[in-house]
Amino acid sequence: MHLSAALLLSVLPLGALAGLPHQGSLRRRHFEHARSVTRRGPTYKLVDDYNKDTFFDMFDFFTESDPTHGRVTFLGKDDAKKANLTYVQDDGTIVMAVDDYTTLSPGQNRNSIHINSKKKYDAGSLIIADMWSMPHGCSTWPAYWTVGSPWPDHGEVDILENVNEATFNQITAHTGDSCELQNSVKTTGRLVGTKCTSSADSNSGCPFVTDQVQGNLTYGRGFNMNGGGVFAHTWTNDAITVWFFPRGQVPQDITDGNPNPDNWGTPAALFQSSDTCNIEQSFQQHQIVFDITLCGDWAGAAYASSGCPGTCDQAVADPNNFKFAKFKLAGLKVYQQQ
């Protein structure tokens, strides 16, 4: 059972309320019990710490046209900072946002961000993102993902993604070579498509959806009202495994900086090698990506069926629709298996 929004608000600092940052000593008894049953598998060493002092310097800012045809203009590093789309709060929270103050005409692009890590990662990596809140709202299409180049030959893994006012997350893999997942994997997410092979004309990938687990805490408003949570994923030559831990249920080993995936229980998604999918060949040299686009191939196409008013272009024109179109992170860490 998760904490109520009222109780969570009562334990958060005032500066955190917009994105509901900062976890205290929640679920202490649960963590103390977990320590007594901890199993120890491979050990991990911290290799990159994307924190309040280093975060934006460790990313390149993508400024080309949105490849998903979103109604956005992605700003460069200096312009994004001047426009107040990227900044660090006084409490250390890292913020990435959409312009929420400029009134536009329908059909005009709104300023936003798309960043790619300067460093590339490969098998043996464990990536942990601690997030206080995420963008949501009509026309929004936020994503936290990793991707190799060329796409799709070196693969893509969407860790956090959905559109408009969705209430659940979709964790998806995309590959170039033929990759078909097996239905026999045990996950908390629901596998709704087994064909990971993707192209420009067929880009659904193989998604796990979290619509039947953890209430509405995995995405959007529900995620934010619960204070967010932690996304963690391991990458080996045999599998890419993704977990999500709502605020108040984050394993103590993650908090302590000594992550132990063997003790994290059933994952939300599992992309595993088999006779019909070669993980080692399909995923190579990934950059970490955060972006917020608007409308486009998915949010635009799903706009009318999402219960949103008017048209997607009309939503983009009104800055009041983007007060909650922000990523707010405590930090992101990359570990390497020893």
Catalytic residues: 156, 161
User: SS3 for 313?
Assistant: helix
In 9-118, DSSP assigns E strands to: 44-50, 59-61, 72-74, 86-88, 94-97, 110-112, 114-117
How many residues in total does the chain contain? 338
Whether the CB-CB separation of 335 and 123 falls below 8 Å is answered with no
Token pair, residue 279, equals 């993980």
Whether the CB-CB separation of 313 and 299 falls below 8 Å is answered with no
> Is the peptide bond preceding residue 150 cis, with omega within 30 degrees of 0?
yes
What amino acid is encoded at 241 in this protein? T
**Among 225, 203, 205, residue whose Cα is nearest residue 216:** 225
Token pair, residue 261, equals 């995936």
CB proximity list for 48: less than 8 A, separation 6 or greater: 58, 119, 333, 334
| Rounded-to-integer distance, Cα 174 and Cα 271, Å | 10
Whether the CB-CB separation of 164 and 303 falls below 8 Å is answered with yes
| Rounded-to-integer distance, Cα 295 and Cα 290, Å | 17
Using the structure block, give the residue that is written with the tokens 């893999």.
Answer: 173
User: SS3 for 16?
Assistant: helix
CB proximity list for 38: less than 8 A, separation 6 or greater: 253, 260, 263
**Among 73, 124, 90, 116, residue whose Cα is nearest residue 261:** 124
